[in-house]
Amino acid sequence: MTGRTAEAVALDAASHPRSRTAPVRIVHLGLGAFHRAHLAWYTDRADPAREWGIAAFTGRRPDAALVLGAQDGLYTLVERGPDGDRFEVIESLVEARDGADVARLRELLARPEVAIVSLTITEPAYLVTADGRLDTGSPEVSDDIARVSSVLAGDASPAPSTMPGRLVAGLAARRDADVGGLSVVSCDNLSRNGQVTRAAVLGMAEEVDPDLRAWIEREIAFVDTSVDRITPRTTDDDVELVQQATQLHDRSPVVTEPFRSWVLAGEFPAGRPSWEDAGAVFVDDIEPFERRKLWLLNAAHSLLAYSGIARGHATVAEALADADCARWVEELWDEAAGLLRDPALDLDRYRADLRDRFANARIAHHLTQIAEDGTAKLRARAVPVLRGEREAGRSGAAAARLIAAWMDHVAGSADPAQLPDARRDDIADALAAPGEERTVRLLALLDTALADDAEVVALIEERSRELHAAAGTEGTR
């Protein structure tokens, strides 16, 4: 952390008194930057009477809860446009907790006024297999089955550590309190994120208590969402800048772009804030919106990340300024657009907006952050486009290029066993295979049907050679 000026006062409820501290009605899992730029912002904006407070739990470490707890949940949101910054203290977060505090999670979920559990826990944390079932083969899941069973038997420790484990332990407390259902709202970048959450939670409940599973199926609504607001990790420079601008010392500000979008489909049996007052849109069918976002924005991000890092770029804006990367993005968008037929999606406008948003060089969105967890991300961002193109009788060359860029990225890692990817061990095993078998095994981590298709494997290898030729580097496959 860099030098505090003498005049700066710590941000907390004394330096920034709330008009009213809202009661907890939303419980959030995954106290990261995106939640604080998105759902917490929508709630803050849509609830001027302060009736909807958020209690947020961290995922793996307590750090964010300690910092935000000391600030009474208050933090500064910096909206960073191409021409300047706007600073706003967000008041909707009223409690910050260590995710390991499952006792508090159970206490909150047993309250009738708590109506929503929301999630931003990253894609691999759902712990589902490629065919959409709870991954009971994963050691994390099997450990949690034992832990949740102990919690249900009255033994609180050790506490569950996964999302499905914690949520099932919490929902069991709600069933026992007999206070009715609620909504679970996933805000992660997954296709049909509500249904993925449902599969993970029902899978865990089935393992520990089939009656609980039946209760969850009856009472809990799983809402699908498409979420959008580019929010990079906060840096020390951001902390310093907020202090200079506001004279408040905030140890945990969040920097985000002015653009935001939230599309939701699902039920709210216990109520919800009027998020539409802040611009959220409620629809019956989420699919066209989530596809547009995952296949255009997120797929392009991943392509810029893998191809851009290989060409020496650090941020999205830098990679987009590279003519080759920009052309590959347009080709990928052409393929995705050919699969998105609904005229209401207004793809020309959407693409134009994306070019502007990506080019905002004041948002330093680091490619290394986007490159993490490629196996989980490419399943949602590249596989459906490649499959759609093949099914339509086209090659899918641009989506194949994205997959080739990811393969080259992991192949270039000095120590694949240390890759920031939940499937790092499987990646390391696949990379140990020779020649074409390596491509097949890496592809199987994304989609087994594609890996069985020799033409697709050849296409990916061809795209890899093309990427290396464009970068003037040697391929390893």
Ligand X SMILES: NC(=O)c1ccc[n+]([C@@H]2O[C@H](COP(=O)([O-])OP(=O)(O)OC[C@H]3O[C@@H](n4cnc5c(N)ncnc54)[C@H](O)[C@@H]3O)[C@@H](O)[C@H]2O)c1
Footprint of ligand 44H on this chain (CB under 6 A)? 123, 189, 228-230, 297-298, 301, 370
Q: According to the binding rule CB under 6 A, does residue 376 interact with ligand X?
A: no
Which phi and psi angles does 144 have, rounded to 5°? -75, -30
- Compute the distance between CA of residue 228 and CA of residue 57 in angstroms, rounded to an integer: 21
Query: What is the closest distance, in whole angstroms, from the C-beta atom of residue 126 to ligand X in the complex?
Result: 9
Interface with ligand X in residues 150-179 (CB under 6 A): 163
Which listed option, ligand X, ligand 44H, none, makes contact with residue 119 (CB within 5 to 8 Å by class)? none
Which listed option, ligand 44H, ligand X, none, makes contact with residue 370 (CB within 5 to 8 Å by class)? ligand 44H
- Compute the distance between CA of residue 167 and CA of residue 337 in angstroms, rounded to an integer: 37
Q: According to the binding rule CB under 6 A, does residue 189 interact with ligand X?
A: yes
Query: What is the closest distance, in whole angstroms, from the C-beta atom of residue 219 to ligand 44H in the complex?
Result: 30
Rank residues 224 and 461 by Cβ distance to ligand 44H and give the closer one. 224
- Give me 332's structure tokens: 């990928």
DSSP 8-class letter at 158? S
- Compute the distance between CA of residue 454 and CA of residue 196 in angstroms, rounded to an integer: 30
Query: What is the closest distance, in whole angstroms, from the C-beta atom of residue 339 to ligand X in the complex?
Result: 22
Interacting residues of 459 by C-beta distance below 8 A, sequence separation 6+: 395, 396, 397, 400
Rank residues 38 and 390 by Cβ distance to ligand 44H and give the closer one. 38
Rank residues 30 and 203 by Cβ distance to ligand 44H and give the closer one. 30
Residue 370, CA atoms < 13 Å, CB-side half-sphere: 29
Query: 180 — alpha (psi -120 to 50), left (phi > 0) or beta?
Result: left
The residue range among 115-123, 130-138, 324-332, 413-421 that interacts with ligand X, by the rule CB under 6 A, is: 115-123
Among 72, 95, 98, 123, binds ligand X (CB under 6 A): 123
Degrees to nearest 5, angle at CA 127 with 126 and 129: 115
Query: What is the closest distance, in whole angstroms, from the C-beta atom of residue 254 to ligand X in the complex?
Result: 9
Rank residues 332 and 370 by Cβ distance to ligand 44H and give the closer one. 370
Which listed option, ligand 44H, ligand X, none, makes contact with residue 120 (CB within 5 to 8 Å by class)? ligand X
Rank residues 212 and 297 by Cβ distance to ligand 44H and give the closer one. 297
Query: What is the closest distance, in whole angstroms, from the C-beta atom of residue 436 to ligand X in the complex?
Result: 32
Helix axes 374-381, 299-310, angle to 10 degrees: 130
Exposure string of 229-244, with b = 16+ CB inside 10 Å and e = fewer, is bbbbebeeebbbbbbe
Interface with ligand X in residues 56-85 (CB under 6 A): 58-60
- Compute the distance between CA of residue 237 and CA of residue 282 in angstroms, rounded to an integer: 37
Rank residues 287 and 372 by Cβ distance to ligand 44H and give the closer one. 372
- Give me 207's structure tokens: 């393992």
Which listed option, ligand 44H, ligand X, none, makes contact with residue 33 (CB within 5 to 8 Å by class)? ligand X
CB atoms within 10 A of CB 445: 23
DSSP 8-class letter at 366? B
- Compute the distance between CA of residue 127 and CA of residue 197 in angstroms, rounded to an integer: 9
Are β-strands 24-29 and 53-57 bridged in parallel, bridged antiparallel, or unpaired?
parallel
Query: What is the closest distance, in whole angstroms, from the C-beta atom of residue 235 to ligand 44H in the complex?
Result: 16
Among 22, 26, 27, 33, binds ligand X (CB under 6 A): 33
Q: According to the binding rule CB under 6 A, does residue 201 interact with ligand X?
A: no
Among 26, 74, 121, 294, binds ligand X (CB under 6 A): 121
Rank residues 40 and 108 by Cβ distance to ligand 44H and give the closer one. 40
Q: Count of residues binding ligand X (CB under 6 A)?
A: 21
Task: Return the residue matching tokens 């990253």.
Answer: 122
The residue range among 10-18, 118-126, 266-274, 313-321 that interacts with ligand X, by the rule CB under 6 A, is: 118-126
Q: Do residues 253 and 77 lie in contact, with contact meaning Cβ atoms separated by under 8 Å?
A: yes
Q: According to the binding rule CB under 6 A, does residue 255 interact with ligand X?
A: no
* Peptide bond before residue 164 is cis, with ω within 30 degrees of 0: no
Among 28, 32, 151, 388, binds ligand X (CB under 6 A): 32
Q: According to the binding rule CB under 6 A, does residue 44 interact with ligand X?
A: no
Q: According to the binding rule CB under 6 A, does residue 34 interact with ligand X?
A: yes
Compute the CA torsion angle 243, 244, 248, 254 (nearest 10 deg). -40
Residues that bind ligand X (CB under 6 A): 30-35, 58-60, 120-123, 125, 163, 188-189, 227, 229-231
